[in-house]
Chains A and B, each alone.
Chain A
Amino acid sequence: MNAWLYLHFPHLLLDYQLALQPPELSTMPQALTQSHAARRTVVQANNAALQQGVQVDMAEVLASTLVPQLKLHDYDATKESAMLTQLAQVLYQDMAQIVLQPPQGLLFEVQSLLRLHQGFAGVVKRMQARLQQWPLRYILSSGYSPLSAKLLAASGHSVLSTEPADVKAAIAELPIEYSGLPEPQIEKLRNVGLLTLGAVLQLPAAELGARFGRAITTYVAELNGDFSAPQSFYHPPHRFDEQVELNAEVHSWPQLLFPLKRLLQQVESFLEIHQWSTRALLIRAHHRTGPATQVPIQFAHAVWQQRDLLSLSQLHLERQKLKQPVLALSVRVQRPESRQAKEQAMFSAPQAQTDSLNALVSRLQARLGESKVQSLHVHDDWRPEYQGTLKPWQSDSTSGGLLLPRPAWLLPQAEPTERQQWQLQWGPERIVSGWWNADTIARDYYIALDQWQRQGWIYQCDKGWFLHGWFS
C-alpha cells in the first residue's frame, strides 16, 4: 500500500504571485531569478515564458536576451515558504496529516483518510478538486515511503497508484541527479557509473556503506520505507493575519480585487478548519512610505464563507479612495467566534487594569483603531516641514539624530511677514536641501524678536520674509 502523497509546486512563488493578479497578466512572460555565486539564473517561470524558450537554470542575461519583454523579479525562499504554509491551511480542510517540506512541497499521510474519502482514488480526487481553485502548477505523486513520494513528485513524475510495485519501478528509473542527495554524493555515485537510483538500490548495502558512508545506507533505508524519521505535522494557527506582496504598484481598489479574493479564500479555509465564523475583518493596504491605509469591516451576522466575506468587503472598499499606490495587502480576522457560541457583548467588562502605558495604548488602539493612536517623532531631515511627523505609536520609539534649535510651535504654514517687524537675534542657519523628492527649499533662518519681545523663527527666501514658528 502506498501510504503517502506528495505535492510539489515547482513554480510556487511565481504562480502564487500571478494568482493575485488579473488572469490576463499571466499571459505576459514572467520569471523569478536568483543569484548563485557570480551567476544569476532563472529559478521559476510562467508558461508564457517557458513557451518562448526560457528555461529554469538559464542565465538571467540569456533569458532576457531571448525574451526581451520578460518581466523579472527576485526569488525569495522565505516568502515562498510562507505561501506554502498558507496552502497547507487551505488543504487542511481535507487532509488531517500534513507535513511542510519548505519551500515547495507538502507531504500527506493518506492511510487515516481512506475511509473518510472512500479510498485512495477518493483522496486524490478531493485534493485535486481543492487545488482547482488555485492556478498553481503542481505534481502529485504517491509513494510507499515519504521519500519515494517526494522524489517522484519533485522530479516531475506523477505516479498515482496504490501498488508499491508501480512506485518502485518509477523510482528505479530515476536518474541519480534527482536523488535529493547532496551534490558531492551524487558526483561520487556518477563516478562509479551509478546513474540511476535503480542501480544504487541493486547493490549490497554493505558495499555501498563501505564506500559512501552511513549517510547512504540511511538514505536507502529511508527510501525503502524501512526507516523513517519522525514527521512533524502541521497545526493550523489560531489567528489569521496574512499579508500578500503585490508584484507591481497598484493604484485603485478594483485592482486589489484579485489578491483580496485569494486572501478571503484563505480566511474561509481558516474559519472552516476551526469551525469558526467572524463579524469583523481589518483590511490594510500597505504603501511605500507612511502608515498603511486601514479599512475595518463589520458584518451584521457572523459569516465564514468567502462569497459573504467578499461581497460586503467590496461594498466597503468601493467607497474608499487610495491616496498612494499599494505594494502589499493584508487581512486580519478580528474576534472569530465559534459558530455555535452565542453572541458576546461588543466590549467586555474591563479587566483588572495595569497602569502601564503599554496597556493603556493597546486599549486605546483596540477602541479607536491602531492608526488613531499616534506619537510625535523627529525625522532626520533638514527641512522643518519634514522633521516632525506623527507616526502610529510604537513602544520602542527612537528619536532622530539631528539635534537642532527648533521652535516648539511650528506653524503649519509659514506666514508672510515684514523684515522691519523683527529684530534679528541669531542667524542665519541656511537650509538648502530636499532636491531628491522635488521639494527643495532654500532659506536663511533667523531667531528674532518682535515688538512684544516674543521670540520667533523667521526665514528669508527668494519670495521674501516668512514667520515659521514661535520659541516663546
Chain B
Amino acid sequence: MAGSVKRPAALHCLTNFSFLRGGSHPHELVQRAVSCGYQALAITDECSVAGVVRAYVAAREQPLRLIIGSEFQLENVGTLIVLVRNRQGYAQLCQLITTARNRSKKGSYQVFLDDFMGTLNDCLLLWRPQFKVPSANVERETIAVTAQQLKQQFGGALWLAYGRHYEADDAQRYSDYKQLSVAHDIPVAAVCEVCYHEPQRQLLHDVLVAIRRRQPLETQVGQLKPNQDYCLRTPEQLQQCYPSAWLAQSVVIAKQCCFCLSELRYEYPAELVPAGKTASEHLRELTYLGAQQRFPHGLRADVKEKLEKELKLIAQLRYEYFFLTIHDLVQFAQQRGILYQGRGSAANSVVCYCLQITAVNPDQIDVLFERFISAERDEPPDIDVDFEHERREEVIQYIYQKYGRHRAALAATVIRYRLRSALRDVGKALGFHEQELRHYLRQIDRRDQQSDWQQQLLEKIPGLGQTHRGRCLFALTDAILGFPRHLSQHVGGFVIASTQLSDLVPVENASMPERTVIQWDKDDLETLRLIKVDVLALGMLTALRKMLRLIQQHHQRELGLADIPQEDAKVYQMLQRADSIGVFQIESRAQMNMLPRLRPQTFYDLVVQIAIVRPGPIQGDMVHPYLRRRAGLEPITFPSEAVKEVLERTLGVPIFQEQVIKLAMVAAGFSGGEADQLRRAMANWKSSGELRQFESKLIKGMRARGYSEEFAQRIFQQICGFGEYGFPESHSASFANLAYASAWLKCYYPAAFYCALLNSLPMGFYSANQLIQDARRHHITILPADIQHSNWDHQLEAGGRGMQLRLGLRLIKGLSQSHMQALLEQRPAQGFQSLQQLRDYGLSGADLHKLASADVLGALAGHRYQSQWQSLALQAEQLPLFAELTAVPTTQLAAPAEFQDIAVDYRTTGVSIRRHPLALLREQQQLKGYKLASELAHCRHKQHVRVAGLVTCRQRPGTASGVTFVTLEDESGLINIVIWQKTARAFRQAYLTAQLLKIKGIVEIHGEVIHVIAGQLEDGTEQLAQLGVSANRSRDFH
C-alpha cells in the first residue's frame, strides 16, 4: 500500500439510536466526518437502522459516502459489523435484523452465528473478536473455529476490525490480530469504534453508561471508556495510530459499498387494481363514479377543473395506489357500518371527497390544494382517517388479513428525552438524590416563556450553579435533551409493502402483543417518500353511530351523517348559548367561553371557532382582534390587495396554518418550497428553534415589499405562536363537520345524544355524572339502573313526556361485562325472582355484591344495605363451616339516609341521580344567602354575590397569565368562576384543594356570558364530609 490515507473511512459508528450507547445524533457524526475530511462514514447501530435516514438527510449533497450497516454482539464470537454493498445487501441486512428482533421482546434481539451464514451474500463482514487478556487456550480455540467458519462463508468479504484507542492492552491485541490474520488469511482493517462525534462528548457518553447501568457514575468508573479516543478522530490522529496498510484496507472496504437510501423505491400493493387496467384508469373511474353520488346535479365546471388537475398531479407523482389503498379501507368500513372520516390536508382534495374518504364539500371552504399535494414539494400527501374508536381494531385486522403480517406494520414513534426524564436520569447518574431532583423539577414552570429552565432553577436555587455537580447537571441535561430513548408504535400509521416489508426496513415487535413496528418513524418515511396510511381512532364517531342507531330504533328515522340537515338556525342558537356539553371539539371550558362571543351562525363560523380556541392563535393574540372586527368594533383593513386575498375570509386576522404559509409567500416573497420549510419549522420549532432562521428573511421580505415593520413583526409573532398548535383550515373543517352533526343531534334528539355519549365513554371532556347532570338540565328523565330493567348499556325507554334514559349496568365500577351480559340474556320476561336465582344463573358472589352496592337489586331485596346483607349470606352458604348458622333469622338493617345513598352512589358508579349534595346542604340551611347558578342570569352586572358548588374543573391556561378558570356545579347548573392570581395566592389552600368551594365575588354579565370574579374563597369540603359525600375528582390543571 502506498502513501498515507488522507481521507479515511469510519466503518463502525454508533449513533444515539443505539440507545444509551451512542453519544451523538446521526447528523452530528456526519457533520464531523465531513469537516474532518472523511471520505466515507458507516452508521452501524446495534441491530438497527433506525438512525440511518437522519444521517442520510445530513449527508445529502456532502462529499461523503454514507454506508449503511449494523453491529451485532454475539457471545463467544465478539462483535460482527455488517456493511451493505448494494440494494440486495440492504434487503439482506433488513431481513437479518428482522429475524433477530422477532426472536425477542420489544427493544432487544437475539442472534446466532448461523444467522450470518448464507444470508448476506451482498454484504461485507467486519469482525472484532473478543480476546480476553490474558486469553485462555479454550478461548483461542473458539476464536480459531469461528475464524474458519467465517472465512469459509465470507471469503474475501471478511475483515478483522482492529480498533486502537490507546488502552493498556493495545500491544497484546495488536499481536493477537496479526497472528489471527496470518493463521486464517483474513486481512486486518483499521476500524475505530466510534461512540460519539467529538472529544467533548465523552462526558455525556460516561453519563449514558451510568444511566444504562442504573447506578451513580462514580460507582461505575471501571465501565467507562478511559479516554476520549472513541470520537471521530482526525486523519492525522489516525495515521499516527494505525499502520497505513490497515488504514488503506478500510478505504478498500468503503469503496465496495455503493448502496444509497435514495435507491429505495416504494412498491405499492398491486392487488387493488383489476387486471387489464392501469392504476390511473382505475382511480379515475372510481373518482367519477363517486362524483355522481357526491354531486348528483352534475359537476360544476370549476369543480371538474379542480378534479382533473388533482388527477393529473396524482398520476404525475404516481400516488394512485395510495388513494386506492385508502379507498379500499373506507369501503371496508362502509360495508361493516363503521363510521369514519378523513381529515388532515386530505380534506382539501376533491378526489378524496368523491372517493368518500372525506366528508367536507370542498365548496364549503377555500381549499388550498397545494397544501395537500404539490409537484414542487414532491412528498406524499397526508391522509388521516378516523374510525370509531371501539371498532378501529376491525379495520386493523382487515389490513393484516388482506396484506398479511409480512407486508404491513406500524410506523415507529421515537420516544425522546424531555426535560423531566433528562434531568432525572442525568441527575441520578451524577449521584443526586431522587428527592432532590423532584424538588428541582417542581421549581420549573415549563409554561414560563420568559426564562428557560436553567434560569428558573438558578433563580430559586442559586447554590446549584456554584457546585461542580450542579454545573454538570445543567450542561449534560441540556446535551441529552432530544436524545432518542426507545422506539414506540405510531398511533395508527401503517406501512404496506407490495411484497416483503422487511426488504425495505427491519420490522420489530411492539410492546402490544400481535403488533409489529418498523424501525423508522414518520419523518423518516416522509424523507424517503414512503407512504403510510393513518388509521386512527375517534370516540365521537362511535358516539355518532350509536346516536343514529337509537334514532332509527326509537324514532324510525333512517339518518346517515350526510343526511343531517345543514345550517339549521336552531342548532346555532343553542351553540350561541354555550349549550355545548358533549358536542365534539367545542365542549371544553375555553370553547364554551368563546361560543357566546363568537356567536356562530354558519358552518364556516364553526370552522373558525374550532381553529381559534387553540394555543397558537391565542398566543399570537389573534382572538381579540377577530372578535372586535366581527362585532364591528374595529375596522377591517388590509395593508395590500394581496394580503386581502389571503385574509379576507377571516376578517384580516390569520387563523389557519395555510394562511400563514400563503402570507409568507405573498407578503414576504417566499417560494412554495421555502414556505413549506417554514411550515415544517413551525411544526417543531419548540424543540429545534429552527424557526429563528426564517425571522430575518420574513421580516426583510415584508419590509422590502412595503409593509410596515410593525406589521412584519406581528406576523412573525403570530407564526411563532402558531407553533405546532395551529390547525389547517381543512382539518378544522373536518372537525366542524362532526361538531355540527353532534350539535344537531343534541338539539333535536337529546335523549339519544346523551344515551349514546354515555355508552361511548371514556371519551371527550366530561364524566358520566357531568353528562347526566346536563341531560337532567335538558329535562330528560333519568331512570336508575335496575336489575329488572337495565341492560349493560344505557338505553332509551318510551314513557312520560318523550324518551327517558334508563341507566345501564356498565356504570358500576369493576363489574364484569361478559358475565353480566350472560346473566341478562337469561332474565325472565317477568324479571328475576330472588337473589338466589341470580346466583343460580351463574352470577359470581363478587359481582352480586357490586350490584347490591350500586343499589340495583331493590326489587329483589330492598334497600342497598339490606340487599348487600342478604347477598353476603348467600355467599356464605357455599362455605360448609357456617352451614349450620344460616338458619338464623336475618336481621333487618336500617335503611341508608339520603346523603349516605348519594355517597355510595358516587363511590360505586361515579353517578348519582338522587338530589345534588348542594340541595341537601341548602335544605339544612347551610348555604343561606348563596345564589343558585340559575339565579345568576337575573343578577345585575357587577352585583356582589355568594355562590357555592362542587368543583368540576380547574383550568389555568398557559396563555392567560395568572388567571384560573374554575367550574362549579350546584343543583341548578354550572357557574363559571374567574380567579386572579392574587386571590388564588391569598386563599391558596381553598384554591388548590377544595372539593366544595364557596365564593364571594362579583358577577359579570356580558350578553350570554356570565362569570363570577372571585374575591374570597372558602373551602366547604368539611361540610361535604359531614354529609359523608366525597365528590368525584375534578379535572385539574390539565
Contact = CB atoms under 8 A, between A and B. Distances in A.
Interface of A: 52-53, 58, 60-62, 64-66, 72-74, 188, 190-193, 195, 203-204, 206-207, 209-214, 380-382, 400-405, 426, 428-433, 435-438, 444
B166 A193 contact: no
Given A210-B882, A381-B221, 10 more contacts: A58-B993, A191-B864, A192-B865, A193-B893, A193-B896, A207-B888, A381-B222, A432-B228, A436-B206, A436-B430
B872 A192 contact: yes
23 contacts: A52-B989, A61-B442, A62-B993, A73-B435, A74-B434, A188-B849, A191-B849, A191-B853, A191-B864, A192-B865, A192-B869, A193-B894, A203-B891, A209-B885, A210-B872, A210-B882, A210-B885, A382-B227, A429-B166, A429-B170, A430-B227, A435-B203, A438-B468
Contacts of A60: 438
B879 to A, nearest CB: 8
B226 A204 contact: no
Contacts of A209: 882, 885
Interface in B929-988: 988
Contacts of A431: 226-227
A391 to B, nearest CB: 15
Contact of B886 (A52, A62, A190, A210): A210
A72 B891 contact: no
B992 interface: yes
B478 to A, nearest CB: 16
Contacts, number: 124
A204 B892 CA distance: 12
A64 B873 CA distance: 47
B229 interface: yes
B472 interface: yes
A401 B988 CA distance: 55
B928 interface: no
B218 to A, nearest CB: 6
Nearest to B218: A436
A432 B993 contact: no
Given A210-B886, A381-B221, A432 B226 contact: yes
User: Which of A211, A214, A432 has the most C-beta atoms of chain B within 10 angstroms of its own C-beta?
Assistant: A211
Given A61-B442, A192-B893, A436-B472, A210 B873 contact: yes
A380 B221 CA distance: 6
A438 B430 CA distance: 12
B222 A401 contact: yes
A429 B885 contact: no
A212 B202 CA distance: 64
Contacts of B165: 430
B227 A433 contact: yes
B993 A193 contact: no
B561 interface: no
B553 interface: no
Given A204-B888, A436-B472, A430 B166 contact: yes
B992 A62 contact: yes
Interface in B207-255: 217-218, 220-222, 224, 226-229
A433 B442 CA distance: 33
B900 A437 contact: no
B988 A53 contact: yes
Nearest to A378: B222
A74 B891 contact: no
Contacts of A58: 993
Contacts of B203: 435
Interface in B870-888: 872-873, 875-876, 879, 881-882, 885-886, 888
A28 B872 CA distance: 51
Interface in B893-914: 893-894, 896, 900, 904
A380 B210 CA distance: 14
Contacts of B988: 53, 66
B852 interface: yes
Contact of B222 (A66, A74, A206, A400): A400
User: Which of B226, B879, B900 has the most C-beta atoms of chain A within 10 angstroms of its own C-beta?
Assistant: B226
Contacts of B641: none
Nearest to A430: B166
Interface of B: 133, 165-168, 170-171, 199, 202-203, 206, 217-218, 220-222, 224, 226-229, 430, 434-435, 438-439, 442, 468-469, 472, 849, 852-853, 864-865, 868-869, 872-873, 875-876, 879, 881-882, 885-886, 888, 890-891, 893-894, 896, 900, 904, 988-989, 992-993
Given A66-B993, A188-B849, A209-B885, A429 B435 contact: no
A71 B170 CA distance: 52
A213 B203 CA distance: 62
A66 B900 contact: no
Contacts of B864: 191, 193
Contacts of B439: 64, 72
B989 A382 contact: no
Nearest to A58: B993
User: Which of A58, A74, A382 has the most C-beta atoms of chain B within 10 angstroms of its own C-beta?
Assistant: A382
B885 A206 contact: yes
B166 A444 contact: yes
Nearest to B165: A430
Contact of B888 (A210, A433, A435, A436): A210
Contacts of B896: 193
Nearest to B874: A211
Nearest to A212: B872
A104 B696 CA distance: 67
Contact of B852 (A61, A191, A210): A191
A211 B993 contact: no
A428 B852 contact: no
A431 B165 CA distance: 10
Contact of B435 (A66, A72, A203, A426): A72
A209 B882 CA distance: 8
A209 B875 CA distance: 12
B655 to A, nearest CB: 35
Nearest to B442: A64
Contact of B221 (A382, A426, A432, A438): A382
What 8 A-B pairs come out closest when comparing CB atoms? A380-B222, A430-B166, A193-B865, A211-B872, A53-B989, A432-B227, A438-B468, A382-B226
Contacts of A62: 992-993
A204 B885 CA distance: 11
B168 A405 contact: yes
Contacts of A402: 222
A65 B468 contact: no
A240 B864 CA distance: 58
A61 B1036 CA distance: 13
Given A53-B989, A191-B853, A382 B442 contact: no
A66 B226 contact: no
A426 B168 CA distance: 10
A52 B886 CA distance: 54
A35 B791 CA distance: 39
A52 B985 CA distance: 13
Contacts of A206: 885, 888
Contacts of A381: 221-222
A46 B328 CA distance: 66
Nearest to B210: A436
B202 to A, nearest CB: 7
B176 to A, nearest CB: 16
Contacts of A404: 168
A418 to B, nearest CB: 23
A53 B171 CA distance: 68
A432 B891 contact: no
A203 B885 CA distance: 14
A196 to B, nearest CB: 12
Contacts of B442: 61, 64
Given A64-B442, A405-B168, A210 B876 contact: yes
Nearest to A33: B435
Contacts of A52: 989
A211 B896 CA distance: 19
A210 B864 CA distance: 19
